[in-house]
Structure formats: C-alpha cells, structure tokens
C-alpha cells in the first residue's frame, strides 16, 4: 500500500492553500519525508501523521536542492540538536549529487547547531540506477528529470515508489517535459506531477497543463494528482485544463490532501 500525503501543494511562492513543496509518503508502513520545503515540519505535525514529532522522522528524500524543496532541513537538524529530542535512530537523507556539499556549507554557517544530539546523520547521494529497498518490500527508485540546476547540484530527480504488491506511485519533482518521466509514469497507479504554471506561461524546467496532459496521454497513469502550483495555476481549474488533453482521473492537490494506492 502507498499513501501519498500532500503537505505542500505549492512551489516557491506560497498561497494560503498551497504551501511550498512537502510530502509524506508511507510505503508499506515505511514513512518517508519527501522534499522538506519551508514549513514542512509544522505542517507534518499539524496533519497528525507523525505523532512522535521530530523523533519520528527517519528517512528524508530530496528531489533537488532548491530552497522550496529543502529549506526545512535546517529547521529539522536544528531541532534534532535539541536535548528535548531523544531518538537515537539514524537520520538518513537521500538526494542528488551536491547534497554533501550543501550540508557542508550549512555547517560552515551554523557549526555544530545542525548536528543531531543523539542520532547519527547519514547522507546518501544517489548513484545512477541505484534503488533503496525498504524493510517490508517497498522500493524507492530515483530518476533524473529536466530541471535546470546551479552550482550546488547538476541535476534534479523524480521518484518512483513501488510497494510489495507491485503497485506504483511516481513523483515528478520539478521538471520540464522529460522522456524519463514518461517512462517512469507509464501505467503508474498514481502520478503526482508538477503543474506549475498556466498554458500561456512557457518556462524552462516546469510543466503547464498542456505539457502535463501530453505526458499523461502518452503514459496513461491511472490517477493524476497535480501539485507544485504557483499562484496563477493554483487559482485555476487545472483538472479542466489538463482534461483537455487527457481523459483519465485527475485531481488538483491542496495542502492536506491524501491519496492512496492499494
């Protein structure tokens, strides 16, 4: 079973209903924080999904290192430094190449304030083709997507989640049109895909409703959830917009929505 919780359905410019990127994925009972954008921790705690609070966060996946997807790492690590947090379980952060460099630079600024007091911190930069097999049989597989990066990281990632029953949820991360995403999303049970801007916006490295529709018409996911909506997109009926190009099931995410596979 896969539960995909939307903690933040927006992008870098939040609205009252669409906070910056943040997701909580439960894959066969294994909990994964995906993209801790600004405010992710508080929204996770308000959702009731993590009753142990900071101590209950053990695995973090990053699609890329832009602040709207990663800024709450600072808040989370600072909280884990507090003597109030008692977990001794390792804290593992998985992300693209550049993750170690980012944490090193943050440590230059904050020193030991970002060192968890009782927990080891494990940073994993994904190698191409690498997957993570979770206890319980779930499989997490990153793939490169098309989102321009800067000197911190060369590339951005999407993620494919497969549960022990073979059911699949795919997360696009931030991306422009991208053949690897079409391939990952082919016949997926759930596709959580960015739909950042209206059709009349052409941006490099993001998708508009037409591009999402074309992706879905090709890949035929069973349920499409539109996320990472900037204010102009969030104010629109994106289901109708994407529905011009794709006849399958479409939902427009808001903060607090949850989607289940299985």
Residues that bind Zn ion (CB under 5 A): 11, 68, 174
**Minimum Å distance from CB 22 to Zn ion?**
11
* Min CB(95)–Zn ion separation in Å: 14
Cα-based distances in Å from 235 to 1, 52, 254: 32, 35, 11
**Nearer residue to Zn ion within complex by CB, 13 or 235:** 13
Of the pair 71, 261, the CB lying nearest Zn ion is at 71
**Least distance (Å) from Zn ion to the CB of residue 4?**
17
Q: Which is nearer to Zn ion, 5 or 64 (CB)?
A: 64
| Closest CB 17 distance from Zn ion, rounded Å | 17
């Amino acid at each position: 079973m896969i539960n995909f919780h939307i903690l933040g359905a927006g992008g870098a410019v939040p609205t009252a209903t669409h906070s910056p990127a943040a997701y909580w994925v439960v894959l066969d009972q294994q909990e994964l924080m995906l993209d801790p954008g600004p405010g992710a921790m508080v929204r996770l705690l308000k959702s009731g999904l993590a009753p142990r609070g900071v101590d209950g966060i053990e695995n973090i996946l990053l699609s890329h290192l832009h602040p709207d997807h990663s800024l709450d790492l600072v808040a989370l690590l600072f909280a884990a430094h507090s003597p109030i947090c008692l977990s001794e379980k390792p804290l593992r952060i998985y992300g693209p190449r550049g993750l170690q460099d980012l944490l090193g630079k943050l440590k230059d600024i904050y020193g030991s304030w970002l060192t968890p007091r009782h927990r080891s911190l494990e940073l994993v930069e994904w190698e191409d083709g690498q997957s993570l097999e979770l206890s319980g049989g779930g499989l997490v597989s990153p793939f490169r997507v098309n989102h321009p990066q800067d000197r911190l990281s060369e590339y951005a990632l999407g993620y494919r989640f497969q549960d022990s029953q073979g059911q699949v949820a795919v997360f696009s991360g931030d991306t422009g049109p991208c053949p690897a995403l079409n391939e990952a999303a082919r016949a997926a049970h759930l596709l959580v895909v960015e739909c950042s801007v209206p059709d009349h916006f052409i941006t490099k490295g993001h998708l508009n409703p037409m591009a999402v529709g074309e992706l879905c018409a090709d890949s035929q996911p069973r349920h499409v959830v539109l996320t990472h909506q900037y204010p102009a997109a969030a104010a629109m009926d994106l289901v109708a917009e994407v529905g011009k190009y794709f006849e399958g099931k479409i939902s427009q995410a808001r903060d607090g929505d949850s989607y289940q596979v299985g």
